[in-house]
């Protein structure tokens, strides 16, 4: 540049000034014109790019609108058929779902639309019972609400598929059982084997797997040295008599109880939200459910695992089989002991020996990167979990990890009807829900067990 200016000043001082200035003017014009041409090309490229983006967006939007038609596009039942493929599997992308009963006073909001990524479908909630001719699914909390369902008006044939579903999360002791359930196409409970097509459980596997694999946030040496275990409970009159059992265990070892039953410590409420914060400071967490029924395992276990302590559970004759929820050698089952004294002695033995204690958290000791695991899909997380747990992965194949896909209950249904011929669903044998006498241990069983 400096060289150019020096040349320019030499030229300007020269006697042949005028032709040289003309030459420079011409040069500048050429530079300016080529700039304009270049600029136009860039603009053109820019416009081309923008229109390509717009085009892609349009294509995507078109794709989306075929995947997710607007509510107003739903064919009125009786008029239009529910599209199916040659095998009878639904090709529908958008479903209308009637929430018949609500859920503990709450329930779906009218017109709310929910996306189901697992099947590229979506559905809209309605509470309007008079839309029964239009709906694709009618959903009832507990089967008792089934009394209001006009089952005979729902259609299940080549032209129309309208399904009923009942769900409940309470144990057989605290909810309806029996024939009422056999009227529904689909039943969803925490029962891993008897739900159809899939259970609806207390476990979000995306979180539970990370909780399982995460190192304990409070290491052994920093856990409470005074009390062995923590208990936080609000229902002090449980069916299985756990309150009397824990009272007897308290005579043998120190247990901090923050909840309303046998309370001896303040600082945490019986709310599940901050339980894990209390749990993590203790070596053991009492995670005994209010009743002992097949697969009835709730957020009591979820929170104990989140806290990174050893859960003390109660399962007899598979009611429940905790191996379906936890790796081997990772919990204490009170029914493995003949007496409460024997259980207390084992809690002391394990709680006073760091090596032994940590052996119960063996599945947390691995080289996986937790932050990376968090970003993975559920299937990928399961693979890594299987790597860690290896041959002891009973739960993966038969239990919670094999059966809980951790998505919206209705999305489980829309995925299923897109994968399953309607004739198979129609032929599926509907079954009553087993009553509490079959599914659960008798009332106050924990006490009976330890008396004998």
Ligand X SMILES: *[C@@H]1O[C@H](CO)[C@@H](O)[C@H](O)[C@H]1NC(C)=O
**Least separation, in Å, of the C-beta of 67 and ligand X?**
7
**Least separation, in Å, of the C-beta of 97 and ligand X?**
19
* Residue of 365, 369, 419, 437 that binds ligand X (CB under 6 A): 365
Residue 321 found at the interface with ligand X (CB under 6 A)? yes
Residue 358 found at the interface with ligand X (CB under 6 A)? yes
**Least separation, in Å, of the C-beta of 391 and ligand X?**
4
d(CA 260, CA 231) in angstroms, rounded, equals 10
Residue 419 found at the interface with ligand X (CB under 6 A)? no
* Residue of 71, 269, 362, 373 that binds ligand X (CB under 6 A): 362
Q: Are 403 and 189 in contact (CB under 8 A)?
A: no
Helix (H) or strand (E) holding 34, with range, is helix 17-67
Total interface residues for ligand X by CB under 6 A: 17
Based on its alpha-carbon atoms, the radius of gyration of the chain, rounded to whole angstroms, reads: 33
* Residue of 10, 113, 264, 317 that binds ligand X (CB under 6 A): 317
Q: Strand, helix or coil at 281?
A: coil
* Residue of 7, 48, 225, 329 that binds ligand X (CB under 6 A): 329
Question: Following CA atoms 291, 270, 108, 148 in sequence, which dihedral angle do they give, to the nearest 10 degrees?
Answer: 40
Q: Strand, helix or coil at 323?
A: helix
* 100-119 footprint of ligand X as x/- string (CB under 6 A): ------------------xx
d(CA 2, CA 194) in angstroms, rounded, equals 87
d(CA 7, CA 160) in angstroms, rounded, equals 88
* Residue of 155, 194, 392, 408 that binds ligand X (CB under 6 A): 392
Looking at residue 367, what DSSP letter applies? Answer: S
**How many residues are there in the chain?**
452
Q: Parallel, antiparallel, or unpaired for β 255-257 and 121-126? A: unpaired
**Least separation, in Å, of the C-beta of 85 and ligand X?**
13
Q: Which is nearer to ligand X, 53 or 356 (CB)?
A: 356
**Least separation, in Å, of the C-beta of 356 and ligand X?**
4
Binding site for ligand X (CB under 6 A): 118-120, 317-318, 321, 328-329, 353, 355-356, 358, 362, 365, 390-392
């Amino acid at each position: 540049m400096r060289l150019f200016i020096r040349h320019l000043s030499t030229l300007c001082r020269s006697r042949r000034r005028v032709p040289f200035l003309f030459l420079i003017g011409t040069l500048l014009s050429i530079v300016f014109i080529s700039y304009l041409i270049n600029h136009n090309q860039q603009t053109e490229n820019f416009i081309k790019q923008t229109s390509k983006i717009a085009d892609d967006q349009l294509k995507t939007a078109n794709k989306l609108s075929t995947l997710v038609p607007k509510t107003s596009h739903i064919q009125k039942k009786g008029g239009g058929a529910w599209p199916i493929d040659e095998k009878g599997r639904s090709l529908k992308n958008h479903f209308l779902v009637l929430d018949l009963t609500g859920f503990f006073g709450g329930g779906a909001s009218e017109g709310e639309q929910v996306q189901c990524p697992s099947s590229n479908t979506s559905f809209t909630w309605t509470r309007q019972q008079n839309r029964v001719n239009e709906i694709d699914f009618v959903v009832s909390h507990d089967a008792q609400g089934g009394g209001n369902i006009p089952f005979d008006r729902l259609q299940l044939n080549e032209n129309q598929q309208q399904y009923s579903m009942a769900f409940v999360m309470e144990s057989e002791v605290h909810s309806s059982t029996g024939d009422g359930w056999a009227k529904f196409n689909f039943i969803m409970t925490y029962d891993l084997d008897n739900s159809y097509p899939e259970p609806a459980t207390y476990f979000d596997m995306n979180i539970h797997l990370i909780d399982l694999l995460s190192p304990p946030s409070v290491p052994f040496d920093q856990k409470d040295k005074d009390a062995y275990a923590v208990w936080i409970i609000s229902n002090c009159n449980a069916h299985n008599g756990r309150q009397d059992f824990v009272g007897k265990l308290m005579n043998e070892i120190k247990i901090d109880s923050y909840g309303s039953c046998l309370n001896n410590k303040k600082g945490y409420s019986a709310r599940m939200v901050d339980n894990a914060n209390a749990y993590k400071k203790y070596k053991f967490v009492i995670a005994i459910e209010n009743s002992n029924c097949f697969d009835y395992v709730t957020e009591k276990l979820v929170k104990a695992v989140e806290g990174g302590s050893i859960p003390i559970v109660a399962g007899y004759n598979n009611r429940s089989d905790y191996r379906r929820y936890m790796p081997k050698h990772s919990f204490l089952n009170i029914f493995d002991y003949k007496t409460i004294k024997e259980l207390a002695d084992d809690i002391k033995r394990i709680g006073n020996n760091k090596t032994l204690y940590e052996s119960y958290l063996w599945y947390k000791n691995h080289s996986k990167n937790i932050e990376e695991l968090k970003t993975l899909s559920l299937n990928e997380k399961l693979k890594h979990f299987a790597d860690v747990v290896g041959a002891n992965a009973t739960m993966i194949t038969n239990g919670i990890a094999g059966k809980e896909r951790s998505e919206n209950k209705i999305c489980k249904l829309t995925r299923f009807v897109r994968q399953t011929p309607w004739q198979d669903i129609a032929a599926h044998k509907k079954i009553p829900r087993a009553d509490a006498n079959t599914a659960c241990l008798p009332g106050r069983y924990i006490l009976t067990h330890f008396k004998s």
